[in-house]
Amino acid sequence: MDAFGTVDILANNIGLASLGTVVDTTEEAWDQAFAVNLRTAFLASKYAVPVMAARGGAIVNIASISALRGDGTVAYSAAKGGLIAMTVDMAYSHGRQGIRVNAVARGHITTPMVLSVSAPGARAEFMNTMRAQAGLLGTAGTGWDVGWAAAFLASDEARWITGIALPVESGVLSVTPLMMAPHLRAVPDPGSVPDPVPGPRE
């Protein structure tokens, strides 16, 4: 507001995930996941919407397909599911103020968050390849793919789109794992290849 006098676009793009089921996730980890993944979007929107209401605007929330498919990150998945629900409710509540609210449900891409919990090496490369092969396109996704989708949803070209969660995930939600099995089995797992036995020294 100080710099430009208004707010036209708000992108809520922050995430924190950790492995855990509903049994072994601590209350602290649960609260942290909701604080980072959902509360931030709530607070940013709470103060941006009244400003946008004067002449309209666009809000894009970065969610995840983890909200739609299980992946063993119960707190993260629940928080991103809450973000999608909040997206729909905000679209309903503020549409007549000229504010469009949409979400991007990102798929299996390699992001700084993923890299922060993956040690470099053969196993990390294997998982990167598996992420690419799990999708219908068989190519790796990046943060730019999510960014371009968000830029579109925030643009005037998307002026008649609101209340959606746009999947950006190489089609993984359109197919069953069984159908992709041949592609995934073709990727050699470094954990299944025995270490070479040292030969006799000369």
Residues acting as catalytic residues: 76
Please tell me the distance from the alpha carbon of residue 63 to that of residue 15, in angstroms, as a whole number: 9
Sequence-distant (6+) residues with CB within 8 A of 41 are: 12, 14, 61, 83, 86
Hey, is 59 helix, strand or coil?
A: strand
Task: Compute the distance between CA of residue 4 and CA of residue 95 in angstroms, rounded to an integer.
Answer: 23
CA distance 51 to 1: 9
Q: Find where tokens 């400003």 sit.
A: 51
Q: Which of helix, strand or coil describes residue 46?
A: helix
Backbone dihedral angles phi then psi of residue 15, each to the nearest 5 degrees: -155, 150
